[in-house]
Structure 1
Amino acid sequence: MQPTATVLVYSDDSTTREQVRLAAGRRPALDVPAVEFVECATPGAVLKELDRGGIDVCVLDGEAVPMGGMGVCRQIKDEIFNCPPVLVLIARPQDAWLATWSRADAAVALPVEPVEFASALADLLRRKALLSA
């Protein structure tokens, strides 16, 4: 049996967290592990979960309040040793440059489009598996 991948989802909006869970499904692609989610509504909770370890990919809402996912991404890339790959949810495709500034590994536009999101998440899970091998 293939191991499970743990995906951290940060958003202050429970609807956005639900969109992420539904778009990913149980397994975003056939060649990646099934996923389980750890949901965080605050930046502090994100840091606590990352310090605990075991997170394979982070999905961060760029529109979250009080601290957007791009700011959180930049912070964790600076502060977390071997930071997991990060997928940032951006308000508009034109905001992709901000995702680059934050050092996100991938970005998709809101609202979450299931096929695009699942593909981006699967790519990051594959990348994580290669780095862990």
Structure 2
Amino acid sequence: MAAVPDRDSRVTVLVYSNRPEVRAQVRTAVGRRPAPDTGRIEWVECAAQAEVQRELDQGGIDVAILDGEAQPTGGMGLARQFKYEIDDCPSIVVLIARRQDGWLASWSLADAVINTPIDPVESATVIAEQLRRRDTGIPVVR
């Protein structure tokens, strides 16, 4: 059983989409603490590929949620790039618009997917699991 973090425990989750309404939907669905045994989320929002790259290069991101439908650069392409280029890459979760795109998310080397429309229970569960994997040292790259 995982230990419950203290009240001041924090994790950093990045959300990338060129559309502010998608970023807001993700933040609202996942919430401030996706599970009692995870830290409180500090959100980092990115609207462009360069912002995501800068944040990941700086380090300190525990999970990155990337919109697979983002324009002009989709989250699946970014996920694959980051998994190959970033040492100790954080967990990457890709938002997919169609369940059939799950195979493409696998190609992208994403650690998990969240389907749209975004379900709060599903999204909080997915993010909590990725945070737990990061905390226990379970490799996130398959």
TM-score (norm 2): 0.90
Distance 1:30 1:94 in 2: 32
* 1:76 CA displacement: 0.5
Partner residue of 1:39 out of 45, 50, 57: 45
Is contact 1:19-1:112 (8 Å) kept?
A: yes
Q: Tell me the percent identity.
A: 55
* 1:31 CA displacement: 0.9
List per-residue Cα deviations over 1:45-77 (Å, max 9, x = no partner): 101000111000000000000010000100111
Partner residue of 2:55 out of 46, 49, 61: 49
The equivalent of 1:110 in structure 2 is 116
Distance 1:30 1:76 in 2: 29
- In the TM superposition, 1:1-133 aligns within 5 A as 1=6, 2-131=8-137
Could you tell me which amino acid in structure 1 is paired with residue 18 of structure 2?
D
Secondary structure of the residue aligned to 1:87 is: strand
Secondary structure of the residue aligned to 1:112 is: coil
Secondary structure of the residue aligned to 1:9 is: strand
List per-residue Cα deviations over 1:19-66 (Å, max 9, x = no partner): 111011110011111111000011111010001110000000000000
Bigger share in helix: 1
Q: Structure 1: any 5+ residue segments left out of the alignment?
A: none
Secondary structure of the residue aligned to 1:48 is: helix
TM-score (norm 1): 0.96
Runs ≥4 residues deviating over 3 A: none
Distance 2:114 2:76 in 1: 12
